[in-house]
Amino acid sequence: MAIKRHIPNTITCMNLFSGCVACVMAFKGELLLASLFIYLGAVFDFFDGMVARLLKVSSPIGKELDSLADCITFGMAPGLIMFSFLQTYCEAPCVYVPYVAFLIPVFSALRLAKFNIDERQTSSFIGLPTPANAVFLASSAALFDIEGYNVEALKPFMQNVYVVIAVILVMCYLLVCELPMFSLKFKSLKWVDNKSQFILIGSSVILLAVFKLAAIPMIILLFIFMSVILFFMKKGK
């Protein structure tokens, strides 16, 4: 029984390990590999809390460890990816411009600190979750690191240093803003209780089938767009 209580924290540590490897890959300029380890970390992050609840071994240390792991995997790692991307693919007017990417781990840490003390975020989110932000940025940058992948249409935008910086600033704002965003947690399998979740999952399957890896940032943008629409619909009632 003593082993059981360590299982969720072990999964969280695997998330942290994945984030550390992602950081190393980003340092080496291996943006695709760095992104893959962020995805792996996101899988571990999804299951650690679920396993803790299933085994009924939730603990304060697990919550703190989860935030520390997330700060590396979904804060530092995407920050390093975007730093490397700005250095490699964008013509910055100043050598210090790529350091703007480190606003990502700063705002991710603020987001995680807010989440830990915000009792409103038990069944949904206030602001963009750090895994969603990390996956969006990492997958967008990784498109340029895939051999044979056609990114010609994206180059005028993604290789424009001002566009990239604007995207980073907007995503940082979304991390800490007061925008309610729905969670993928299912209270039941009823359509009426989970319309947003079912629509997002169904749309994601279609996008992945058509666009493959390029669909990942599209899915995150769809999630943000749906959350904004739901916010204004509820506000208008």
Residue 213 bridge partners (DSSP): none
**Helix or strand (DSSP H, E) at 208:** helix 195-211
Q: Which fold has domain 4-179?
A: Four Helix Bundle (Hemerythrin (Met), subunit A) (1.20.120)
Contact 158, 144 (CB under 8 A): yes
Of the pLDDT bands very low, low, confident and very high (cuts 50, 70, 90), residue 115 is confident
CA 18 to chain centre: 14
Mean pLDDT (whole number) for 47-68: 84
- Could you read off the pLDDT of 122-173 as tens digits, one per residue? 667 888 999 999 999 999 988 877 766 656 666 677 778 899 999 999 999 9
Contact 77, 36 (CB under 8 A): no
Please tell me the pTM assigned to this model: 0.89
Sequence ranges of the domains in the chain: 4-179
**Does residue 1 carry a pLDDT above 60?**
no
Contact 105, 79 (CB under 8 A): yes
- Could you read off the pLDDT of 183-202 as tens digits, one per residue? 777 666 676 667 888 899 99
Residue 198, amino acid:
F
Q: Look at residue 192 in the predicted model and tell me its pLDDT.
A: 66
**Does residue 236 carry a pLDDT above 80?**
no
Mean pLDDT (whole number) for 215-226: 93
Contact 20, 72 (CB under 8 A): yes
**Which is nearest to 18 in space by CA: 103, 77, 106, 63?**
77
Of the pLDDT bands very low, low, confident and very high (cuts 50, 70, 90), residue 18 is very high
